[in-house]
């Protein structure tokens, strides 16, 4: 979500004469987009701002802006803590950033804008005809959240849930497809409740409309709250070819006692029932989840229920976090806090178990042919490196111009289930098929904990496949 917001802000600043630079030292303005989801993320913001303060001492004309969830949460307090900051803007002020920067340039003033709006803000951009370097990107379909899970800061820093109009979403995706984007990930804290409050279309209806967009090859979405996972959404996985066979369905805990304290509004049994139904409708769907360990009052028995649920579901990937107190969130005031040591130990135990299932799932794919959307070139050997605990954000893209030798090129892409696949260009394969943004069939030959390695089908194999079909 923050990546999407950062991209939107960067684009909007082009209207007032700024463009992105890859060098912090060369920048005339530095804009820090922040995350407040866990305390560690917040601490990182302040240590980074400290470093920017040192830069400003040497270059007083440098403009420094801080936005996002920490800015929304802390507001004016950021200026007190870091007096060299020029602009603090909250999560609802994104569309006003260019005009505020203009004011700062002309009046040398300092601005704090953390006003919360009741209507969703749309940033209008002129049509963009620049070719995108990546095959996939994000599109936000809704802001905020009304769920108030007791551990979570999102409703306090992102505000009430609001959905964007389908027409605006579709227009944005069409524009992106025209610049070369082939895969869209729709973003929202709970996409299942898309459009309900505003009486727009339902989320499955939105998916069906997006699937009609010519040139778009794949659709993904995140996040889906288990309490609202509807049968129509399950059926979309079966009926819409473009919808990738992957669902991120965060359970957070396997213990009913903890789920209740978290205010998640489903039980372990209801969650498992929905997973079973979904697998009945779409058997090859990949599943990932988020998990929190060490929520206040979590006993060893509760934690074991979580491990037990993981053994029942066998997730393809998992994002696991140690519980962290957040200001405003109700659980910050809950008793029976778990020690840091205990949280760390539980996290390690859980990750070790997940590693086993991820590898098991990946190994089961050896020998299969997977449709891979090519993302770009990857560093050689990236496949065997540990890069996180799940299937999001894996793989390391490198600049196309950095790779000198054709025979040494390793490409990277993703399966429909969102698994990273690295593959080299074989001599016999149809070289025309190898470029970013295309879907190509790759036979999986090796499996690692966090990625797969394969070989594109040769022309002979491809014609064999086509022959099989007719
Ligand atoms: N809307 C999504 C989650 C968004 S936040 C959902 O409901 O699933 C992403 C993840 O961060 C959450 O799923 C949760 O696992 C984790 N998280 C949120 N608040 C946290 C906290 N206070 N401590 C630890 N992990 C937290
Ligand atoms: Fe946070 Fe719960 Fe909303 Fe997700 S659904 S953003 S965890 S309050």
* Residue 159 Cα to ligand 1 middle (Å): 16
Looking at the CA of 329, name the nearest ligand.
1
Region(s) of the chain under CATH 3.40.50.2300: 2-113
Region(s) of the chain under CATH 2.40.50: 369-469
* Residue 154 Cα to ligand 1 middle (Å): 9
For a mutational test of ligand 1's pocket, the pick from 193, 290, 322, 337, i.e. the residue with the most ligand atoms closer than 8 A to its C-beta, is 290
Q: Answer yes or no: are the C-beta atoms of 127 and 109 closer than 8 Å.
A: no
CA distances to 81, 299, 376, 463, 467 from 130, rounded to whole Å, are 40, 54, 18, 35, 39
| Ligand 2 atom 4: residue of nearest CA | 189
CB of 143 shorter than 6 A to ligand 2: no
According to CATH, the topology of domain 2-113 is Rossmann fold (3.40.50)
Provide the pLDDT for residue 410.
84
Atom of ligand 1 nearest to the CA of 290: 15
Provide the pLDDT for residue 18.
94
Cα–Cα distance measured from residue 70 to residue 410, given in angstroms and rounded to the nearest whole number: 39
> Mean pLDDT per segment of 10 residues, for the chain of length 470 residues?
85 90 90 90 87 92 94 92 93 92 92 88 67 85 95 94 95 93 96 93 97 98 94 96 98 98 98 97 97 98 98 98 95 97 98 97 97 83 38 39 56 95 72 74 94 88 61
Provide the pLDDT for residue 224.
92
Cα–Cα distance measured from residue 460 to residue 394, given in angstroms and rounded to the nearest whole number: 31
How many residues are given for the chain? 470
* Spatial CB neighbours of 293, under 8 Å, sequence gap ≥ 6: 303, 306, 320, 321, 322, 323, 343, 346, 347, 350
* Residue 196 Cα to ligand 2 middle (Å): 17
Atom of ligand 2 nearest to the CA of 155: 8
* Spatial CB neighbours of 210, under 8 Å, sequence gap ≥ 6: 169, 170, 173, 184, 186, 216, 219, 242
CATH 2.40.50 fits 369-469, yes or no: yes
Provide the pLDDT for residue 1.
76
Atom of ligand 2 nearest to the CA of 146: 3
Backbone angles phi, psi at 268, to 5 degrees: -55, -45
Provide the pLDDT for residue 405.
54
Provide the pLDDT for residue 119.
80
Q: Which CATH class is domain 136-363?
A: alpha beta
CB of 36 shorter than 6 A to ligand 2: no
Region(s) of the chain under CATH 3.80.30.20: 136-363
Provide the pLDDT for residue 338.
97
Residues with CB under 6 A from ligand 1: 37-38, 151-152, 189-190, 223, 225, 250, 252, 290, 292, 321, 323-324, 326
Provide the pLDDT for residue 40.
85
């Amino acid at each position: 979500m923050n990546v999407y917001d950062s991209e939107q802000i960067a684009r909007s600043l082009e209207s007032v004469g700024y463009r992105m630079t890859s060098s912090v030292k060369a920048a005339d303005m530095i804009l820090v987009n922040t995350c407040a989801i866990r305390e560690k993320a917040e601490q990182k913001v302040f240590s980074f701002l400290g470093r920017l303060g040192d830069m400003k001492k040497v270059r007083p004309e440098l403009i420094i802006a801080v936005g996002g969830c920490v800015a929304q949460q802390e507001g004016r307090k950021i200026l007190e803590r870091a007096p060299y900051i020029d602009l603090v803007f909250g999560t609802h002020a994104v569309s006003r950033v260019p005009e505020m920067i203009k004011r700062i340039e002309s009046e040398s003033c300092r601005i704090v804008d953390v006003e919360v709006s009741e209507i969703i803000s749309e940033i209008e951009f002129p049509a963009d005809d620049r070719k995108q370097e990546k095959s996939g990107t994000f599109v936000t379909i809704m802001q905020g959240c009304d769920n108030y899970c007791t551990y979570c800061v999102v409703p306090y820093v992102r505000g009430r849930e609001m959905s964007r109009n389908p027409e605006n979403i579709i227009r944005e995706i069409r524009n992106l497809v025209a610049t070369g984007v082939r895969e869209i990930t729709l973003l929202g804290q709970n996409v299942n409740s898309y459009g309900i409050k505003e009486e727009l279309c339902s989320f499955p209806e939105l998916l069906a409309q997006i699937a009609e967009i010519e040139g778009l090859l794949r659709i993904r979405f995140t996040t889906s709250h288990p309490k609202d996972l509807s049968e129509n959404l399950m059926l979309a996985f079966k009926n819409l070819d473009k919808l990738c066979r992957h669902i991120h369905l965060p359970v957070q805990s396997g213990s009913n006692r903890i789920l209740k304290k978290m205010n998640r509004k489903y039980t372990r049994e209801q969650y498992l029932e929905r997973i079973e139904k979904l697998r009945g409708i779409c058997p090859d769907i990949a599943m990932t989840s988020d998990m929190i360990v060490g929520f206040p009052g979590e006993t060893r028995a509760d934690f074991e229920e979580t491990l037990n649920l993981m053994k029942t579901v066998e997730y393809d990937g998992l994002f696991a976090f140690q519980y962290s107190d957040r200001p405003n969130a109700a659980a910050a005031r809950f008793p029976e806090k778990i020690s840091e040591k205990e949280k760390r130990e539980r996290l390690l135990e859980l990750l070790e178990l997940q590693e086993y299932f991820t590898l098991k799932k990946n190994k089961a794919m050896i020998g299969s042919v997977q449709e891979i959307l090519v993302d770009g070139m990857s560093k050689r050997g990236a496949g065997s490196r540990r890069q996180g605990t799940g299937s999001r954000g894996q793989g390391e893209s490198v600049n196309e111009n950095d790779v000198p030798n054709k025979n040494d090129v390793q490409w990277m892409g993703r399966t429909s289930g969102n698994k990273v696949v690295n593959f080299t260009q074989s001599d016999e394969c149809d070289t025309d098929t190898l470029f970013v943004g295309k879907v190509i069939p790759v036979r999986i030959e090796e499996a690692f904990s966090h990625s797969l390695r394969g070989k594109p089908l040769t022309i002979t194999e491809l014609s064999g496949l086509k022959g099989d079909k007719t």
